[in-house]
Structure 1
Amino acid sequence: MTRTVSSVMTADPVTVSTRTPFKDIARLLTGNAISAVGVLDKTGALVGVVSEADLLPHLWDDPKPRWRDRRLARKATASLAEDLMTSPAVTIDAEDSLAAAAAKFAHTGVRRLFVLRHGKVAGVLARRDLVGVFTRGDADLEREIVDGVLREQLNLGPDRVRVEVRAGVVTVVGRVERRSDIDPVTRAIRELSGVVEVRNRLDYVWNDVA
């Protein structure tokens, strides 16, 4: 039911070796209209990332100004990926949830996450990929809630619970048997991609919550 990182990532991202020259990296970035490449070691493991920001120090007038970060100053004279890269790379697993990805973006402040599957690079996830899930149509989202969540997952038919979706805001009305049945409805719907907000207005017959 819950969409994972693998469902929205860009598969097979552009990567380079640790010995790839500066100009080759610049050509890859501009030629593919991307902002970063992953750097792989001889075993195929991701050891870092070279982004546009890592190349820009080469344009400094003074390659080693005292007031600038020493790490960036070294990049100003670097010619190979192993010296240009930012390491370690910020990664996420392909089967992690979109919520986990959003949290990692917020915590790290990076623009993209390289996606790993079984320790190997499987894709790359940009912030815009997560934003894109909110463009999902209301009718499609409502069908998944009614058929997938309420009927199949929670065994709640339209005679007990009804749903309306407008601009990604899900309103749930009806009556369930027990008060403890209400929160699981909210949690299950909130996990779906494209949900902006859940307004749970369910009533209950028996109060089984202390």
Structure 2
Amino acid sequence: MNAGKVSAVMTADPITVSPQTPFKDIAQLLTGNGISAVGVVDKTGALVGVVSEADLLPHLWEERKPRWRERRPARKATACVAKDLMTSPAVTIAADATLAAAAAQFAHSGVRRLFVLRNGKVAGVLSRRDLVAVFTRGDSDLEREVSERVLRDQLNLGPDRVRIEVRAEIVTVVGRVERRSDIAPVTRLIQELSGVVEVRNRLDYVWNDVA
């Protein structure tokens, strides 16, 4: 699993409903599972919309004949099944998208959660809280993961050649590698770890093998 990807922090196998699922059943799913939305999938498993708490609230209106500019909520106020309640199209993101891409999607769309797709089918759901939680890990934990998982296991670089320092999720890398082409992978692999805000690569090299 790639810790810098959406798939690493999403909630897998989210609750979904069919277009014909009744209003009451959806309300029970939301309250019973402590969630704020369900995906609506068709017979092929494709995501066709989302029903959130906000989509159910029009049912509480006392006046169900609002002005013309409120026709869409008025329709939902009398809707009985998911296909009439849902917001469509759903805002989605790919499972292999980066966390930075997810953050940008949240900022652009203003939604509270993104349904995650893999091969066109629902694989999970990512909330804003899931994304924020990525950045709450300690510097010491992140430093250990960079040292062991990236430098030692993936790149075979020991502390005698490369050293790191992590402060406020900013990773600074110093030392010397054999070839200039060895430098870029260090930055790329560290950036893919969850919780990394920035990589400051200050590595030097012995041989310049880059044209």
Task: Please give the TM-score of this superposition, normalised by the length of structure 1.
Answer: 0.84
Q: Find the counterpart in structure 2 of residue 11 from structure 1.
A: 12
Q: Find the counterpart in structure 1 of residue 45 from structure 2.
A: 44
User: Aligned-pair distance for 1:67?
Assistant: 5.4
Matched residues in 2 for 1:199 and 1:115: separation?
A: 31
Q: Which range moves more in the overlay, 148-157 or 27-36?
A: 148-157
1:124-143 to 2 correspondences below 5 Å: 124-143=125-144
Q: Which range moves more in the overlay, 4-13 or 17-26?
A: 4-13
CA RMSD of superposed structures (Å): 2.6
TM-aligned CA distance change 1:160 to 1:91, over 3 Å: same
Question: Is 1:71 aligned to residue 72 of structure 2?
Answer: yes
Q: Which amino acid in the other structure matches residue 120 of structure 2?
A: G
Per-residue CA deviation, residues 93-147 of structure 1 (Å, 9 max, x unaligned), is 3233323322222222211111223322222111111111222233332222223
Matched residues in 2 for 1:177 and 1:14: separation?
A: 50
Per-residue CA deviation, residues 139-163 of structure 1 (Å, 9 max, x unaligned), is 3322222233234444533222211
Unaligned runs of 5+ in 1: none
User: Aligned-pair distance for 1:187?
Assistant: 3.3
1:89-104 to 2 correspondences below 5 Å: 89-104=90-105
Per-residue CA deviation, residues 31-79 of structure 1 (Å, 9 max, x unaligned), is 1111001112233322111001111122233323225343222112211
Matched residues in 2 for 1:196 and 1:95: separation?
A: 19
Q: What percentage of aligned pairs have identical amino acids?
A: 81
Q: Which range moves more in the overlay, 165-174 or 84-93?
A: 165-174
Q: Which amino acid in the other structure matches residue 67 of structure 2?
A: R
Matched residues in 1 for 2:72 and 2:41: separation?
A: 20
Matched residues in 2 for 1:178 and 1:7: separation?
A: 32
Q: Find the counterpart in structure 2 of residue 192 from structure 1.
A: 193
Q: Which amino acid in the other structure matches residue 8 of structure 2?
A: S
2:2–2:8 contact (8 Å) kept in structure 1: no
Question: Is 1:62 aligned to residue 80 of structure 2?
Answer: no
1:2–1:97 contact (8 Å) kept in structure 2: no
TM-aligned CA distance change 1:209 to 1:43, over 3 Å: closer
Unaligned runs of 5+ in 2: none
1:18–1:81 contact (8 Å) kept in structure 2: yes
